[in-house]
Each structure stands twice: as C-alpha cells, then as structure tokens.
C-alpha cells in the first residue's frame, strides 16, 4: 500500500512511477559507465549524470518539498565538482613537478582566440557596472539576487582595473561565507522559536543566502582570473 498525502495534485499521481523508473535507469547507466572507465576526468563528468538521476527521483515527489530538496542537492553537487577538479589538477601538477623532464607551459587561454576585449566600457566603467549589478542583487535578495551580485563581482574581477588582489581578500570572502551561514541558521531558529517575527527571520535567511551565493560565484571568477592570462 502506498500512502499519498492529500495535498499532492491529482495530475502528478500518474507521473510518479515513470519518473522513478527513469531515475533508476539513468543512475544505472551512469554507474555502469563509471565502473567501466579508468581516467578520473571521465569519471568526474559521469558523476554529473548521477546527479541528474538524483533530481529525477526527488522531483517525483511533486510537491514543494521536492523543490526544497533539489536546491541544496544542486548546490552541493556544484561544490563537489569544483573540489574534485581542484584535487585532480593539484595531483597532476605534483606528478609533473617530480618529473625532471617537465614541460609546463607558462600560460593558456580559456578562449580559442586571445581574450583582449578592447571595449571602451571595460576600461572606464567596470566599477560603475559592478556597483549597479551588486546593488540590484542586494535589492532582489535570495538566490537570484546572489547570482546577480556574484555576476557583478565576476565582472569586476575579470575587468582590467582589479588585477592581483591580495590573499587577505580571499580570506575575507571566506569569512563572509561563514557570517552568511550564521545569519541563515539564526533566521531558521527564530522562525521556530518566535513565529510572530516571521518577516525578520525571512529577511535574515534571504540576506544570508545572498551573501553565500554572491561570495561563491565571486570566488569562481577570481579562480578563473588567477588561472588564465588575459592577453
């Protein structure tokens, strides 16, 4: 017997079993391919498919609970991919450093042609553009605002004005991330302890999420700028 909560929409009931089976099939294919492959970078790409299978199984629930569970799953998968790719790069670099006949090329480019943007606006007004994007992101709050503000930080990091930020600034961004977690947890706690202050706790959680997402997207931009020479 299957227990169905009364607030699940009628239309989603017939879609439950196909979605579960599709998730199982996709997960089976992905794990079989992972078992057959040897190279680590291929395994990292195939891990992406396992994440898609997870989304299938969770989305079959069909209520707001599914949406609330998919969001952290996606963000955790993103952080996991970033961390594992960094580990792969570090290990390969260590292997090359131990080799006496190494040929480590000095610079490379993310783009097929050299990425020299000779646009007037990138020379004169990156500060203004970044400020407008960050201000609009703070006005939006939440996940979307974090993405917009993070785009502003990436633009500032990639433009020519800000070259060679000190290590202290990277540490500062990590500290902001910790403060964001504290705000989020405080808002969550206040929501249960004192429900009459629900607006305050909602805004605490939204601002925490804004800081979190914006700092994470900004860090990715800083990483890419450190790696690839622009000229």
Partner 1 sequence: MISVQLFFYFGIFLAIVGSIATAWGPGVNDPIVRTFNTEVASIGVCLVLLCYNHVLALLTLLATTVIITLILFRAIIRLEEMGADV
**How open is the CA angle 130-199-139, to the nearest 5 degrees?**
15
Q: Does 32 bind partner 1 (CB under 8 A)?
A: yes
DSSP, res 63: S
Number of residues located near partner 1, criterion CB under 8 A: 54
Q: Does 52 bind partner 1 (CB under 8 A)?
A: yes
On the 0-12 / 13-18 / 19+ scale of CB atoms within 10 A, 212 is buried
Nearer to partner 1, 66 or 138 (CB): 66
Distance CA 180, CA 206 (A): 10
**How open is the CA angle 169-129-170, to the nearest 5 degrees?**
10
Q: Does 26 bind partner 1 (CB under 8 A)?
A: yes
Cβ contact 215:152 at 8 Å: no
Dig out the tokens for 207 from the structure: 């601002």
Nearer to partner 1, 197 or 227 (CB): 227
Q: Does 25 bind partner 1 (CB under 8 A)?
A: yes
Q: Does 44 bind partner 1 (CB under 8 A)?
A: yes
Cβ contacts of residue 54 below 8 Å, gap of 6+?
23, 27, 73
Residues between 140 and 199 that touch partner 1 (CB under 8 A): 143-144, 147
State which of residues 104, 168, 193, 199 lies at the interface with partner 1 (CB under 8 A).
Answer: 104
Q: Does 220 bind partner 1 (CB under 8 A)?
A: yes
On the 0-12 / 13-18 / 19+ scale of CB atoms within 10 A, 173 is middle
Nearer to partner 1, 82 or 125 (CB): 82
Q: Which residues bind partner 1 (CB under 8 A)?
A: 11-12, 15, 18-19, 22, 25-26, 29-30, 32-33, 39, 41-42, 44-46, 48-49, 52, 55-56, 59, 62, 66-67, 70-71, 74-75, 77-78, 81-82, 85, 88-89, 92-93, 95-96, 103-105, 108, 110, 143-144, 147, 217, 220, 224, 227
């Amino acid at each position: 017997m299957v227990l169905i909560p009364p607030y699940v929409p009628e239309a989603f009931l017939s879609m439950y079993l196909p979605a579960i089976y599709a998730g199982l099939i996709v997960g089976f294919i992905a794990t079989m391919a992972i078992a057959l492959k040897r190279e680590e970078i291929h395994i990292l790409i195939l891990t992406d498919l396992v994440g898609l299978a997870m989304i299938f199984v969770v989305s079959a629930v069909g209520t707001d609970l599914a949406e609330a569970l998919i969001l952290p799953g996606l963000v955790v998968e993103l952080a996991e991919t970033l961390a594992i790719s960094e580990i792969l790069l570090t290990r390969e670099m260590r292997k090359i450093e131990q080799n006496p006949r190494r040929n480590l090329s000095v610079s490379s480019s993310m783009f097929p042609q050299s990425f020299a943007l000779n646009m007037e606006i990138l020379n004169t007004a990156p500060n203004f553009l970044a400020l407008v994007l960050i201000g609009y992101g703070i006005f939006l709050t939440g996940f979307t605002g974090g993405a917009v503000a993070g785009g502003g930080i990436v633009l500032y990091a990639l433009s020519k004005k800000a070259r060679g930020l000190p290590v202290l600034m990277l540490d500062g961004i990590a500290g902001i991330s910790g403060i964001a977690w504290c705000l989020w947890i405080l808002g969550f706690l206040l929501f249960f302890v004192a429900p009459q202050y629900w607006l305050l706790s909602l805004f605490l959680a939204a601002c925490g999420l804004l800081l979190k997402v914006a700092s994470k997207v900004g860090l990715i931009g800083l990483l890419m700028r450190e790696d690839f020479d622009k000229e």
